[in-house]
């Protein structure tokens, strides 16, 4: 589905275990393999606590997996150290859910945008004003916002500043962690449109974490569905209606009807998601799955290809 020559980052069999009380272990990511392609968006979706943010944090080296490798430009990110790690970081940027908390409130927007460029010696201090204006305009904000402080801006404007700061380093991959979920729906739409426009202009790969399948299907080229640390389905964004895994189908059924058709039943998944400390044997979705069989209770299903760019981890297929 994607051209392998555009592959820029590949995570292979990534697992992360955390020690927990009573000698137990919490497996936040279990054998996750995903690929990121130039100019394409991979949407990673799942309920809160499913491990999607934990996984994306490995890509910017805010954490390291217990097992597996993450190949970027031929190097395993999990093994990089010191100056080599610092230099590599500039090519993979992250935009967080709440940019307000990731900005220094005492810094002007000019300094917030230019700080990483100065850190990597890409610009001189005397160039800050022109550079900040250039990137403000790239994210469709007035150049004179450079003199403002973050607290004098709206949530949507702050998120644009976070995007300006991320693209200033000309990254090859941007990770967006629930980057629009704190915004009003109308503002969400304008931010997504901006991200898609910048992606086309700059040919950037994007990893977009979300819990809203309705939002992500509108722009992601590929969607990976995560459940209790496991990838249970990968499919093209345009084919989301063809999702086969019972969990993805439940997520699809839970999308609120935009036409406000209340005659359509809003589906929900019965019961709560189990604790990641208490993952059931066999298929992780088995306690909530209406199609569960004896095999599902004892055998962990592996991802199988069932169509072009479409893989599913379920014994039904």
Binding site for ligand SF4 (CB under 6 A): 246, 283, 285-286, 289, 291-292, 296, 301, 314-316
Q: Given phi > 0 = left and psi -120 to 50 = alpha, else beta, which region is 35?
A: beta
Nearer to ligand SF4 among residue 58 and residue 285 (C-beta) = 285
Q: Is 66 helix (H, G, I), strand (E, B) or coil?
A: coil
Q: How far apart are CB 292 and ligand SF4 at their closest, in Å?
A: 4
Closest by Cα among 36, 166, 195 to 90: 166
Nearer to ligand SF4 among residue 192 and residue 232 (C-beta) = 232
The tokens for 111 are 């300094």
Nearer to ligand SF4 among residue 205 and residue 283 (C-beta) = 283
Q: Is 102 helix (H, G, I), strand (E, B) or coil?
A: helix
Q: How far is Cα 60 from Cα 183, in angstroms, rounded to an integer?
A: 24
Nearer to ligand SF4 among residue 118 and residue 292 (C-beta) = 292
231: Cβ contacts below 8 Å, ≥ 6 apart: 32, 33, 34, 224, 225, 303, 313
Q: How far apart are CB 299 and ligand SF4 at their closest, in Å?
A: 8
Nearer to ligand SF4 among residue 229 and residue 301 (C-beta) = 301
**What are the CA-CA distances from residue 239 to residues 244, 258, 309 (Å)?**
11, 19, 10
Q: How far apart are CB 42 and ligand SF4 at their closest, in Å?
A: 22
Nearer to ligand SF4 among residue 62 and residue 316 (C-beta) = 316
Q: How far apart are CB 295 and ligand SF4 at their closest, in Å?
A: 7
Nearer to ligand SF4 among residue 97 and residue 286 (C-beta) = 286
Q: How far apart are CB 31 and ligand SF4 at their closest, in Å?
A: 16
Q: How far apart are CB 25 and ligand SF4 at their closest, in Å?
A: 22
Q: Which residue has the tokens 């069989």?
A: 293
Sequence-ordered alpha helix ranges (H) in the chain: 52-59, 82-89, 99-102, 109-119, 128-138, 155-168, 185-202, 213-216, 246-253, 294-298
Q: How far apart are CB 291 and ligand SF4 at their closest, in Å?
A: 4
Nearer to ligand SF4 among residue 94 and residue 296 (C-beta) = 296
Q: How far is Cα 57 from Cα 149, in angstroms, rounded to an integer?
A: 28
Q: How far apart are CB 251 and ligand SF4 at their closest, in Å?
A: 13
Residues 178, 211 contacting (CB under 8 angstroms) = yes
Q: How would you classify the pairing of strands 173-177 and 92-95?
A: parallel
Q: How far is Cα 159 from Cα 135, in angstroms, rounded to an integer?
A: 13
């Amino acid at each position: 589905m994607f051209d392998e020559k555009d592959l820029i980052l590949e995570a292979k069999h990534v697992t992360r275990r955390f020690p927990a009380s009573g000698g137990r272990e919490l497996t936040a990511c279990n054998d996750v393999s995903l690929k990121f392609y130039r100019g394409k968006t991979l949407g990673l979706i799942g309920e809160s606590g499913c491990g999607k943010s934990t996984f994306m944090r490995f890509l910017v080296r805010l954490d390291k997996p217990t097992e597996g490798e993450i190949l970027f430009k031929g190097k395993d990110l999990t093994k990089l150290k010191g100056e080599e790690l610092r230099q590599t970081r500039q090519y993979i940027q992250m935009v967080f859910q709440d940019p307000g908390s990731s900005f220094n409130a005492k810094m002007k927007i000019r300094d917030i945008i230019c700080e990483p460029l100065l850190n990597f010696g890409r610009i001189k201090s005397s160039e800050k004003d022109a550079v900040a204006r250039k990137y403000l305009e790239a994210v469709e904000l007035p150049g004179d916002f450079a003199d403002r402080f973050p607290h004098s801006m709206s949530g949507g404007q702050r998120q644009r500043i976070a995007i300006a700061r991320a693209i200033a380093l000309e990254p090859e991959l941007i990770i967006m962690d629930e980057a629009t979920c704190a915004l009003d729906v109308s503002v969400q739409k304008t931010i997504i449109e901006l991200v898609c426009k910048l992606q086309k202009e700059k040919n950037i790969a994007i990893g977009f974490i979300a819990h809203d399948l309705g939002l992500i299907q509108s722009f992601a080229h590929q969607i990976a569905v995560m459940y209790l640390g496991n990838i249970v389905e990968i499919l093209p964004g345009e084919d989301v209606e063809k999702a086969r895994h019972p969990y993805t189908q439940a997520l699809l059924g839970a999308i609120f009807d935009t036409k406000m058709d209340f005659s359509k039943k809003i589906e929900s998944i019965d019961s709560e998601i189990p604790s990641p400390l208490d993952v059931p044997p066999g298929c992780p979705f088995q306690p909530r799955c209406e199609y569960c069989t004896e095999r599902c209770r004892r055998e962990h299903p592996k991802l199988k290809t069932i169509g072009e760019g479409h893989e599913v981890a379920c014994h039904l297929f």
